[in-house]
Amino acid sequence: MSGRTASKTRRTSESSVDLEIDLDGTGRSSIDTTVPFFDHMLTAFAKHSLTDLTVRASGDTNIDAHHTVEDVSIVLGTAIREALGDKAGISRYGDALVPLDEALAQAVVDISGRPYLVHTGEPAGFEHHLIGGHFTGSLVRHTFEAIAFNGGLTVHVRVLAGRDPHHIAEAEYKALARAFRRAKSLDPLIEGIPSTKGAL
One-character DSSP codes across 1-53: --SSEEEEEEE-SSEEEEEEEETTS-S-EEEE-S-HHHHHHHHHHHHHHT-EE
Residues linked to residue 21 through DSSP beta bridges, in sequence order: 6, 53
For the chain (200 residues), the mean pLDDT of every run of 10, in chain order, is 86 96 98 97 98 97 94 98 97 98 98 98 96 94 98 98 98 98 96 90
Are the beta carbons of 92 and 179 closer than 8 angstroms? no
- List the domain boundaries for the chain: 5-184
In this structure, which CATH number among 3.30.230.40, 3.40.50.800, 3.30.43.10, 3.40.190.10 belongs to the domain 5-184? Answer: 3.30.230.40
To the nearest 10 degrees (0 to 180), the angle between helices 138-151 and 165-184 is: 10
Its pTM stands at: 0.96
pLDDT at residue 1, as a whole number: 40
The C-alpha atoms of residue 173 and residue 100 are separated, in whole angstroms, by 11
